[in-house]
Every structure is written in C-alpha cells, then in structure tokens.
Amino acid sequence: MKIGYYHTPTDPILRTGVTVDNVDIFDLTSVGIHSPADALEQGDIVDRILHLTKRSSMRIPVANVLMGPPVNDQEIWAAGVTYLRSKTARMEESDFSASAYDRVYDAERPEIFFKALGWKTSGPGRPVGIRHDARWSVPEPELVLVYNRRGDHVGYTIGNDMSSRDIEGENLLYLPQAKTYSASCAIGPWIRVGVEEAEARSWGIRMEILRDGRQVFAGGTQVSQIKRSFSELSRWLHCCQKFPTGSMLLTGTGIVPPNEFTLQAGDRVVIEIDGIGRLENPVAVV
C-alpha cells in the first residue's frame, strides 16, 4: 500500500490518496485524511486505510494524476557513510578529512545531519538544485525511512540528497553548505507502508542521469548493502530529540558517479527503488 499527495491536471489542490494496485488512487481527503502524515498516525495503518478506502467515493487512475512531495512540515534528516561505496568516494574527494569518513563508518554512532524542512523539498518533476558556486555536483539516490510524530518507523519513500562534492571535500566543516541549500532535497512520490525491514532490504536502488535525452550515467545498488540496521538509525535519529510533526531519514548513498562526472542544468535524475516506485527531477542551478 502506498500513500501520497496527488492533484489532477484540472485541479491544483493537493489531496491525500492511496493506491494498493498501482492502477487506481482512492481519495482519502474526502474521508478526513488531510495529509500523508495524517494517514501515518492511524493505528494499524494498512487495515485502517483499507477500511477508509471502502468509504471513499473518489477513485481515479494513477495514470491521470500528478504527484506532490508526500511531506508537509516534517524535518528531513540524513545518515551518511552507511555504504562502503560512500566511504571510499568521500575518502578520495578529501585531503584532510579522509580518516573522519573511515572512522565514522565503523563507529557506534552514525553520521546523521540535518538536510531540509518538508516544505523546502522538491516533489516529483520539480527541479533539484546545483549550487552556482560548486564545481562538482552529484545526486545521491537514497531509501528514506518515514516516521510518525511518535517516532514510529511507519514507511519508506525515495530521496535525493543533492551534494556539492568539491565543497564537502575542501573542508568537512563546509558539509552543511554542501548538503543544505535551495532545492537540495527531493522526496517522493509515494510512501510505502506495511513493509518489514527484511523485505525492504531485498529491494534494489537504481539511478539514471539523462542529458539531452541521452543516458550519461547509470548505476545500481541493493538496500542490503546499508551497513546499519533501520532500528539502529532510528534510535540515533531520535536520541535527545523529538519531532512533533514527524520526520524522515535518508539512509545514505551507495551509488556514486565517477569522479569526472558533474551534473549540469537541464539534466534529469531518475531514481527507482523496488517496492516504492520512481522519482524523477530536472536539474537547475541555484
């Protein structure tokens, strides 16, 4: 079951919807669920939402709607150096801080950093940003853990942790500037619910980058390559802080384009995660 925000070509107002078969969306706004976050507060989400779909009078083909980011005012955080590939790439890009990546990969405490606020994220089809003062910009396709306001892990979505590798590589203290700027985070379109960690760990993640309609990068990884368990990441995210409107955690990247590759304005980034779907965004300079 997947929950998201949708609108129709003739009505720009976002409504909450659910699909079970990827063919039809049942409208949940008409039965009192005003946001995906509201849906995630329902006890026993899958049964409760299935029950509500029986009362929903609106049913629309998925092919006829446009999707928004499934997020409102949640905080978006990100874990880093959770894949061996990410550790190696970051040690290569930095002269002075290489040992920091090496140590955090094996440390008990993971790297977790603030990424974005929900209202600042780009939904499907909306531009993701590359900084005008960066020379080396890459997308980071990541599985996202979704939490309700009690801190329960209730779903999964797709995220893009856009990053300026030259700025991060120059000095690790520049990490917030390399990671957090306008349109630096894309999320969506769907939140998958009712899936245990073991099943999510069997999913593949793929990314393709298109330039003038031609593929200039393609790569893939497996969720199973994430070094840390989801409960471990969740525990550290919620250690010493609460999120009264819910939160999301990007779980790190395992797909890194070659060092000579940098994104350009007009590129399209396409990310697919089995079990969730596809997130596609054009790239723009900010």
Determine if 140 is a binding residue for Mg ion (CB under 5 A): yes
Of the candidate residues 74, 221, 253, 281, the single one contacting Mg ion (CB under 5 A): 253
Determine if 111 is a binding residue for Mg ion (CB under 5 A): no
| Chain position whose Cβ is nearest to Mg ion | 161
d(CA 267, CA 130): 11
Minimum CB distance to ligand DO4, residue 84 (Å): 10
Q: Which is nearer to Mg ion, 27 or 140 (CB)?
A: 140
End-to-end CA distance of the chain: give it in Å, rounded. Answer: 35
d(CA 139, CA 134): 13
Q: With 0-12 CB in 10 A as exposed, 13-18 as middle and 19+ as buried, what is 75?
A: buried
Which residues here bind ligand DO4, judged by CB under 6 A?
Answer: 78, 80-81, 86, 90, 111, 140, 161, 175, 252-253
d(CA 205, CA 141): 8
- Find which of ligand DO4, Mg ion, none residue 110 binds, CB within 5 to 8 Å per kind: none
Total of chain residues touching Mg ion, rule CB under 5 A: 3
Give Cα 229 to chain centroid, integer Å.
Answer: 17
Q: Which is nearer to ligand DO4, 19 or 164 (CB)?
A: 164
Residues 148-167 that bind Mg ion (CB under 5 A): 161
Q: Over the Cα atoms of the chain, what is R_g?
A: 18
Minimum CB distance to ligand DO4, residue 253 (Å): 4
Please report, as a single letter, which amino acid is at residue 279.
L
Q: Which is nearer to Mg ion, 161 or 208 (CB)?
A: 161
Give Cα 50 to chain centroid, integer Å.
Answer: 25
β-pair type (277-285, 128-130): parallel
Q: Which is nearer to Mg ion, 68 or 252 (CB)?
A: 252
| Chain position whose Cβ is nearest to ligand DO4 | 80
Q: Which is nearer to ligand DO4, 75 or 140 (CB)?
A: 140
Tokens of 225: 């390559």
d(CA 113, CA 180): 10
Determine if 168 is a binding residue for Mg ion (CB under 5 A): no
- Find which of Mg ion, ligand DO4, none residue 68 binds, CB within 5 to 8 Å per kind: none
Nearest CA to 139 out of 203, 185, 205 is that of: 185
The torsion angle over the Cα atoms of residues 105, 110, 114 and 117, rounded to 10 degrees, is 110
Q: Which is nearer to ligand DO4, 8 or 224 (CB)?
A: 224
DSSP 8-state code for residue 263: -
Span interacting with Mg ion, options 12-20, 137-145, 210-218, 268-276, rule CB under 5 A: 137-145
Q: Which is nearer to ligand DO4, 66 or 112 (CB)?
A: 112
Binding site for Mg ion (CB under 5 A): 140, 161, 253
